[in-house]
Structure 1
């Protein structure tokens, strides 16, 4: 396992989980949108306004193709899994976790977010339609579907860390891993 990708609809918790997972596993964390903003010197809304959504989607693909080769955790953009090429790249480069959150929870988190151009120019109904349209792409990209409904950030983080450990083939026994999990929670 080299990279760990967190995919899912905007507002599903990719950045929050990614930061916690980074702290827990001691692996570096990167937010794809933040990295694109750093590289371009423009905000996401500015990129959309200047170049359009399709160019932004190209930037996401370029990120997947060229981002440094290191063990790390990456929170992807909400639309990255829509491209088959991106799904193949992520699956080939590491483990992909789909954070499957109910739309009601997502809408509560994103409804007033000014940094989400799609939300600002769309109604709740349009966003919900987009959510359902993207859902299958997230599932196709994922090695693991992580149900987040009624689960704390800690529980989701623990589950992902457990699966990372299990898939890494490291020599830690299950009991040693469980001990690490318990001590990290204190």
Structure 2
């Protein structure tokens, strides 16, 4: 039988159930559990030779990513030549650690791209945001002001290199929210 044949127009549940319905489930649940390679739950752990010395390292890749999220030293086996084999506990710990590295990276990126400060005026407190848009061709930032109720007072497009400080925010407010130079 050819795998490329169209499905039969009649309901032949015995013929189609055993092959077609099991393929997607089998593909979704593919796990690799080898001594130097584990793949599961969107992650791949690969034990590799450490180029810096005679030891071993482990690299954690998130599915779809070309670069590892985490690379760290790996334990030598009892023979002191080969690496210790991966196991379920080690893999779980590596997934948790690599996930934390990614989360911290995302937090750091967010902190780099989004700045907020408050300017206290006699009549109100103004919240000023600077949101950098890291476009490859034309990076820019949006400078926004909000009142105490969260209503937007103004928004202007500025250079991605704009430095938000208390003095720059105060000057922007004093100039009636006109685009800073």
Q: Could you tell me the TM-score, scaled by structure 2's length?
A: 0.22
Choose between structure 1 and 2: higher strand proportion.
2
Of structures 1 and 2, the one scoring higher in RCO (CA 8 A, sep 6+) is 1
Choose between structure 1 and 2: higher helix proportion.
1
Point out the structure with max Rg over C-alpha. 2
